[in-house]
Amino acid sequence: MANEDKRDSQEQTEQAEQQAEAQTAEQVEAETANGNAQEGEQPRDGEDTVESLRARLDSLNAAMEAAKEQVLRSQAEAQNARRRADQDIEKAHKFGQEKLVVDLLPVVDNLERALDSLNLDDPSFKAIIEGIELTHKSFIDVLAKHKIEAINPEGEPFDPELHQAMTMVANPDVEPNTVIDVFQKGYTLHGRLVRPAMVVVSKPE
């Protein structure tokens, strides 16, 4: 009986140890499975992080390109503004005295009328004529120095941009629409018309 009890006790002990080992193996397998599952999820987390970084990088690149474009646009606007300012300054230098020129032109007209009204063959007028001619020449030289040029289109085709027709006269000796007489010379300042020439234009009979 004692031996049987001893064998029964050993068998129970061995069974208990086997059950314990089985439970331990199951726990190890379970933990291993959990660990593998967790390790399997880490790459997904890593991929999400890379995608997030790439998205942020793309956003930063887009913002940088927009900033570059804005800077280039601002530089272009600044250059255009500076160019317009330079043009305005240049025009002010060229045409700032336009009103003064217009006011001085009648003086030249009066000198020319005085020469036309005098008898150039009369010796008694010689000194007067020479004085008026010198004054007129000096005046014309000053005007030319400041880029003021006369328009005397007699014999030229009529140009409405530069001439003002006072009347039209039939003249078979010249082509129609030709300037046959100049009442008053015109003038330009740096190529810009400041006073048109007053002219007589031919027309067909």
Domain made up of 96-203: CATH architecture: Roll (2.30)
Closest CA to 109 of 131, 139, 134: 139
Least confident of 39-43, 84-88, 157-161: 39-43
How far is residue 120 from each of residues 125, 127, 131, 153, measured CA to CA in Å? Answer: 7, 11, 13, 24
How would you label 65-84 residue by residue, b for 16+ Cβ within 10 Å and e otherwise? Answer: eeeeeeeeeeeeeeeeeeee
Residue 189 to residue 93: CA distance in whole angstroms: 11
Residue 204 to residue 64: CA distance in whole angstroms: 72
135 pLDDT exceeds 80? yes
2 pLDDT exceeds 50? no
154 pLDDT exceeds 90? yes
Partnered with residue 195 across adjacent β-strands are: 187
Residue 130 to residue 139: CA distance in whole angstroms: 14
What lies within 8 Å, CB to CB, of 203 at 6+ separation is: 168, 169, 170, 171, 176, 177
Q: What pLDDT is attached to residue 148?
A: 94
How would you label 109-146 residue by residue, b for 16+ Cβ within 10 Å and e otherwise? Answer: eebbeeeeeeeeeeeeeeeeeeebeeebeebbeebeee
Phi, psi of 97 (to 5 degrees): -100, 20
Residues 193, 197, 202: CA angle, nearest 5 degrees? 135
Closest CA to 179 of 193, 195, 161, 166: 166
Domain ranges of the chain: 1-95, 96-203
How far is residue 192 from each of residues 52, 131, 150, measured CA to CA in Å? Answer: 66, 31, 12
Residue 191 to residue 130: CA distance in whole angstroms: 31
Q: Tell me the per-residue pLDDT of 55-67, one tens digit each, with 9 for 90 and over.
A: 888 888 888 989 8
Residue 111 to residue 15: CA distance in whole angstroms: 144
Q: What pLDDT is attached to residue 53?
A: 85
Q: What pLDDT is attached to residue 12?
A: 58
